Amino acid sequence: MWNRILDTALRQLIVTDALELTWPDGHTTRYGDGSPPVRVELHRDDIVQRLVLRPDLTLGNAYMDGDLTVANDDLDGLLSMLMRNRQRGRTTVLMGAARRLASPVQRLARRNPLTRSRQNVAHHYDLSSELYDLFLDTDRQYSCAYFTDPDMSLDAAQEAKKHHIARKLCIRPGMRILDIGCGWGGMALTLARDYGARVVGVTLSEEQHRIAGQRVREAGLTDRIDIRMQDYREVAGPFDRIVSVGMFEHVGKPHYQTYFDKVRDVLTPDGVALIHTIGTATRPRATSEWVRTHIFPGGYLPALSDIQHAVEHSGLMPTDIEVLRLHYAKTLRHWRDRFEAQADRAAALYDDRFVRMWRFYLSAAERSFVDERLVVFQIQLARDKMAVPLTRDYLYVREDAQAAMAAQ
pLDDT of res. 399: 57
Integer Cα distance of 201 and 185 in angstroms: 7
Percent of all residues in the chain with a pLDDT value above 70, rounded to a whole number = 88
Under 8 Å CB-to-CB from 81, ≥6 apart: which residues? 14, 17, 18, 19, 32, 38
Domain boundary among 42, 76, 109: 109
Q: Residue 114: what pLDDT?
A: 59
Domain edge (last residue) among 51, 80, 109: 109
Encode pLDDT of 143-152 as tens digits. 999 999 999 9
Q: Which of 225, 241, 247, 269 is nearest to 169 (CA)?
A: 241
For 100-122, what is each residue's pLDDT tens digit? 554 555 554 445 565 656 666 66
| Closest C-alpha to 150, from 14, 364, 326 | 326
195 and 121 in one domain? yes
Asked if residue 164 and residue 49 are part of one domain, the reply reads no
153 and 231 assigned to the same domain: yes
Instruction: Tell me the average pLDDT across 230-257.
Output: 96
* 151 & 22 share domain: no
377 and 260 in a common domain: yes
Is 388 a residue whose pLDDT tops 80? yes
pLDDT at 126 over 80: no
Segment 221-238 mean pLDDT:
96
Digit-coded pLDDT (tens) for 169-190: 999 999 999 999 999 999 999 9
* Nearest to 133, CA basis, from 207, 203, 60: 207
- Domain of 66, in residue numbers: 2-109
Mean pLDDT, residues 6-33 taken together: 94
170 shares a domain with 94: no
Give the chain's count of helices (H) and strands (E).
17, 11
Q: Is the same domain home to 93 and 131?
A: no
Which band of pLDDT confidence, cut at 50, 70 and 90, is reported for residue 67? very high
131 and 60 share one domain? no
Mean pLDDT score of the chain, rounded to an integer? 90
Mean pLDDT of 392-405: 67
| Pair 123, 174 in one domain | yes
Question: Does 236 lie in the same domain as 219?
Answer: yes
Comparing 51-65, 168-182, 207-221, 282-296, the range with the smallest average pLDDT is 282-296
Out of 132-141, 239-248, 285-294, which region has the weakest mean confidence (pLDDT)? 285-294
Look at 115 and 2; give whichever has higher pLDDT. Answer: 2
329: Cβ–Cβ under 8 A, 6 or more apart, which residues?
366, 369, 370
Give the pLDDT band of residue 235 (cuts 50, 70, 90): very high
Residues 104 and 123 in one domain: no
Q: Reduce the DSSP state of residue 267 to 3 states and report it.
A: strand
Q: Domain count of the chain?
A: 2
CATH of the domain at 99: 3.30.1050
Alpha-carbon separation of residue 233 from 49, 188, 263 (angstroms): 43, 19, 9
Q: How much is the pLDDT for 124? A: 66
Q: Which pLDDT does position 396 carry in this prediction? A: 87
* pLDDT of the residue at 166: 97
* Residues 14-23: tens digit of each pLDDT: 988 999 999 9
Say what the pLDDT of residue 299 is: 86
Q: Tell me: the pLDDT tens digits for 156-167?
A: 999 999 999 999
Instruction: Please determine, for residue 98, whether its predicted confidence score (pLDDT) is greater than 80.
Output: no
Look at residues 109, 128, 161 and tell me which one is the last residue of a structural domain.
109
Residue 407 above 50 pLDDT?
A: no
Q: Distances from the Cα of 366 to the Cαs of 139, 290, 313, in angstroms?
A: 21, 15, 33
Q: What is the pLDDT of residue 91?
A: 56
Could you tell me the CATH number of the domain that includes residue 290? 3.40.50.150
Nearest to 244 by CA among 232, 229, 256, 226: 232
Q: Band of the pLDDT at 408, cuts 50, 70, 90?
A: very low
* Pairing of β 38-42 and β 18-22: parallel
Task: Report the pLDDT averaged over residues 36-43.
Answer: 96
Instruction: Indicate if 165 and 60 belong to the same structural domain.
Output: no
Residue 382's beta-bridge partner residues? 272, 317
